[in-house]
Amino acid sequence: MKFPESQRVTYSRNPLLEVICQLRFPKILRIETEVPVGFQEAIRAEYPTLNTSHAIELPFLSNPQTNSPPIVMGQGLTYEFVDKEEKWKLVLSSDFIALSTLHYEKWEDFKTRLSTAIDLLVKHYSPSHFTRVGLRYQDLIIRSELELVQHPWRSLIQPPILGTFVAENLPEQDFFEALSVFACRLDYADAALRVRYGLARKDESEELGYLIDADFYTENITEINDATHSLDQFNREAGNFFRWCITDELQQALQPKLIT
């Protein structure tokens, strides 16, 4: 499956909550048994805060009424390096490295940080290859932030991912939970896309927003030097997919700017 081509844009009213890239590799026990002093020294100026744990969890916004189970990125000892503003995180574990941000602007900035992390991983631990390459975009549409409170979801979201709300004359105010999932193959690199979409809240807000959580990935063996090429493709397809999900009305409300 391939989504229609769209222009590359940034949004002044950016609906992105978080962008996460995770690269899995065969387990390297040295990361668990030796403190990663050299790795930290190389990134400490940019990521000065260090946290350690035995699992990295991602809160999931799918269920606005109950505490949804977290998504666990990995088990075993993990090292989480955080920047001063707590907007960027770099996570190192014995079988994966991950970069995430709450302040995503454009792919080139994210890719630069990720490439540095991959280079350091190779320098200090020499993984043979990646077993999974994934890039995930979590968007949450909040109508009040876009001055669209009176606009039904049917006028903002395209039918394929509207789920229940595709029906006309539906009393949206009566719904407190709606979540759907689909997964499909992509047309390149034996890759796939898994999407969760539906109602969710932002932080402690009482307002229900519309979540579009898209995970682009391949679980085929990927050579180290080929990972960024796959991620470039995922990034481009992520832009096409999001534009496919939303109507022209929502596109304009997000105030797009062309990337030149």
pLDDT tens by residue, 203-223: 878 899 999 999 999 999 999
Position 55 scores a pLDDT of 59
Contact yes or no for 158/244 (Cβ under 8 A): yes
For residue 145, give the 3-state DSSP assignment.
helix
Domain that holds residue 45: 9-258
Based on C-alpha coordinates, what's the Rg of the chain? Answer: 19
Report the share of the chain in percent with pLDDT over 90.
80
Query: How much is the average pLDDT of 30-35?
Result: 93
Inside any domain, residue 4 = no
Query: Of 119, 126, 106, 115, which Cα lies nearest the Cα of 28?
Result: 126
* pLDDT band, residue 74 (cuts 50/70/90): low
Q: Is the pLDDT of residue 61 over 60?
A: no
Inside any domain, residue 142 = yes
15 vs 58, which has greater pLDDT?
A: 15
Inside any domain, residue 3 = no
Number of domains in the chain: 1
Inside any domain, residue 40 = yes
Query: How much is the average pLDDT of 143-149?
Result: 96
77 vs 55, which has greater pLDDT?
A: 77
Rounded alpha-carbon distances, angstroms, from residue 221 to 28, 97, 136, 190, 235: 16, 16, 19, 10, 19
Inside any domain, residue 1 = no
Position 54 scores a pLDDT of 76
* pLDDT band, residue 56 (cuts 50/70/90): low
Place of tokens 């020294």: 41
User: pTM score, two decimals?
Assistant: 0.90
Inside any domain, residue 145 = yes
* Angle (deg, nearest 10), helices 107-125 and 227-245: 150
Compute the distance between CA of residue 241 and CA of residue 238 in angstroms, rounded to an integer. Answer: 5
Compute the distance between CA of residue 60 and CA of residue 238 in angstroms, rounded to an integer. Answer: 19
Query: How much is the average pLDDT of 185-193?
Result: 89
Inside any domain, residue 238 = yes
Q: Is the pLDDT of residue 201 over 60?
A: yes
Compute the distance between CA of residue 249 and CA of residue 251 in angstroms, rounded to an integer. Answer: 5
